[in-house]
Structure 1
Amino acid sequence: MNPIVGIGEVLWDVYPDGRKVAGGAPFNFAFHCHQLGHDSVIVSRVGADDLGHELRDRVRALGLSDEYIQTDPDHPTGTVQVALDANKVPTYTITEYVAWDYIGWDEKLEPLLKTARAACFGTLAQRFGTPVPVHRFAERLHPRPRDLVVFDVNLRGQYFSEEILRWGIGTSNWIKINADELSVLSDVLGFRSLSDVMDAVTPLAFGCGATILTRGEQGCEIYRRWEEDDGDDGSLYPSETFTEPGVSAKVVDTVGAGDAFTAAMVCLHLEGRPLRECAKFATHYAARVCEYPGGTPKIDRAEVERAAGLK
């Protein structure tokens, strides 16, 4: 098994009507990778409480293993209160000092690190310090040929810092942000464009680097750069920017749509598909996710491929 790994929060999203939905961006990402036909796992932590036991059951019911979900004897399982505005866009009230704030390193993770083919992480699980698994997966995967480290910035409230942003960008092959997050990167780091972000991505010497900007119903923009030997002074870094238009959807809520987009991009890229095809599929796939409540709906891959004109 050469899994795709999501590292960070797994939690219960709690809606105003009292519904609980298993969530957390890295978990949503891992779920959609699994749904798209790839081995995937979530590295996280839950409490030794009823919510933790329920969450493990739900993770397994959705087809993923809970093998790499640790149990915290001292901190509760994470919960997030979700509110939706008139456009079905969520805002989150995130409980602090919960189990996933304390993800540690254990003996199970070393063999996983050796076999993983991709890892994805964000900023939220680093809000009180970067967990050791995030550091080790990011810093040991990104130099390995054909492996992929994705920093899905995924800003939530005040839970980020300049240090976290610079470290994440500097240890990743792909950076995924939305339009609001690009504005924050501009304010905090002085980045004014996708090319500015790309200039800060250090692992380009190990292959293709990309900054992926999502714009919701307006689609996405991708700035990519990759290494080529010019036969003279070592390397050139050709670049390309392209856009993929948005896809109409009957939106129920947008929870998890960005995570689904990231998973779709990663899965098709690992299958060897051109980045433009990855973006087309990912845009259609995320639109379908928006048509269902919660971040982990069942979506038929073949139907999305047909809708995107890729089948």
Structure 2
Amino acid sequence: MPQTSSSNAYNVVCFGEILWDILPDKAVPGGAPMNVAYHLHRLGERPALLTRTGIDERGKELLTMMESMNIDTTLIQLDYELPTGIVHATPNEQGEMSYEIVAPAAWDHIQYDHDVESVVKNAEYFVFGSLATRNKQSKETLYKLLEIARTKVLDINLRQPFFTREIVEELLSKCDVVKMNISELELITGWFAEYKSIEDRIQLIQDKFNIRSIIITMGADGAVVNFRGSYHRHNGYKVQVADTIGSGDSFLAAFLASVLQNKSPEEALTFASGLGALVASKTGGWPAYNISDIYSLINNTQIIH
């Protein structure tokens, strides 16, 4: 049975897809919201995962895995008709992934109810992505929750063919914080104007959509953050990349956890860069690690120049 907990026990709610990444040689648990929740839990926070899975073997295995790690499953809905989501993930020579996201899937049909409403109202952060809008049911639930969430964090996660310019602009207008990678930043700002500098692109997004903070991950080139009006940059850590599954999700989780723990933006960015590099050096989005492993990497790994 799913674990139970009171609504005020959660400080972050992660909304959206739960699935298996089917790699050439194995299957690993995935989905950006689930990955963020996994890493928040490992970092000592109290995430709730609001999603939906099938009652098939894949769904049962996901629930069993999460419960074995003491990750709260209270808000994971069960679908008696649709299958648990899967994605065919294929790495290139650099370890970067391409994805075929299979439809239909149970997470396309996340339902709204008053228990969910209470949890979202009480959480510090509500994390969501653009992929959750590909089906009418989950999209309608998401939009209702965005009306009541405190701080709305958009992890934009653009995947063809499941987004349009209209949807992206709509989601940007509803969020307080946005995380995207450099390719997504270039794509979105290219809709409006031609810019050369990252800072100008970031400023456009923040000004046009009234966004408080923006986080840009740049793979091997590190990350840049404009946090409440101040810019911070980290050049990243040099590691041997196993694959990039969940690396950006772990980065976001580490940054949010740091802010919740009242760390400075510089400390948050360093810590997030460390965890992102650690996860990229391992296979899949759910590698086992301790917080001490992150600091070991930070203290002993070369920063890319």
Scaled by the length of structure 1, the TM-score of the pair is: 0.86
Match of 2:227 among 218, 224, 227: 224
Match of 1:45 among 29, 52, 56: 52
Correspondence 1:99-178 to 2 at 5 A: 99-129=106-136, 131-142=139-150, 148-178=151-181
Distance 2:248 2:276 in 1: 7
Report what 1:228 is aligned to: none
Alpha-carbon distance, 1:62 to partner:
3.2
Change (3 A) 1:185 1:252: same
Alpha-carbon distance, 1:172 to partner:
1.4
Deviation track 1:118-147 (CA, whole Å, cap 9, x = no partner) reads: 1111111111235344223322224xxxxx
CA contact (8 A) 1:191 1:197 kept: no
CA contact (8 A) 2:117 2:145 kept: no
Does the residue aligned with 2:118 lie in a helix, a strand or coil? helix
Does 2:300 correspond to 1:293?
A: no
Does the residue aligned with 1:221 lie in a helix, a strand or coil? strand
Match of 1:264 among 254, 272, 275: 254
Paired residue type of 1:197: I
Scaled by the length of structure 2, the TM-score of the pair is: 0.88
Alpha-carbon distance, 1:106 to partner:
2.4
Q: Please, which runs of 5 or more residues in structure 2 have no aligned partner? A: 1-8, 196-200, 300-305
Paired residue type of 2:55: A
Does the residue aligned with 1:165 lie in a helix, a strand or coil? helix
Match of 2:19 among 8, 11, 17: 11
Does 2:270 correspond to 1:280?
A: yes
Does the residue aligned with 2:35 lie in a helix, a strand or coil? helix
CA contact (8 A) 2:120 2:126 kept: no
Distance 2:124 2:77 in 1: 22
Distance 1:82 1:291 in 2: 17
Paired residue type of 2:273: T
Alpha-carbon distance, 1:211 to partner:
1.0
Alpha-carbon distance, 1:24 to partner:
0.2
Matched length: 285
Report what 2:298 is aligned to: 308
Alpha-carbon distance, 1:308 to partner:
3.2
Distance 2:236 2:221 in 1: 4
Q: What do you get for the CA RMSD once the two structures are aligned?
A: 1.7
Deviation track 1:244-292 (CA, whole Å, cap 9, x = no partner) reads: 1110112111100000000001110111111111111100111001111
Does the residue aligned with 2:145 lie in a helix, a strand or coil? helix
Report what 1:86 is aligned to: 93
Distance 2:192 2:178 in 1: 14
Change (3 A) 1:59 1:131: farther
Distance 1:50 1:58 in 2: 12
Report what 1:245 is aligned to: 235
Distance 1:74 1:106 in 2: 20
Deviation track 1:152-195 (CA, whole Å, cap 9, x = no partner) reads: 11111221112221122112121111111012202345584000
Change (3 A) 1:127 1:7: same
Distance 1:298 1:276 in 2: 25
Alpha-carbon distance, 1:306 to partner:
4.8
Distance 1:128 1:136 in 2: 15
Paired residue type of 2:111: G
Distance 1:191 1:116 in 2: 38
CA contact (8 A) 1:211 1:222 kept: yes
CA contact (8 A) 1:162 1:189 kept: no
Does the residue aligned with 2:147 lie in a helix, a strand or coil? helix
Paired residue type of 2:12: I
Distance 1:136 1:278 in 2: 30
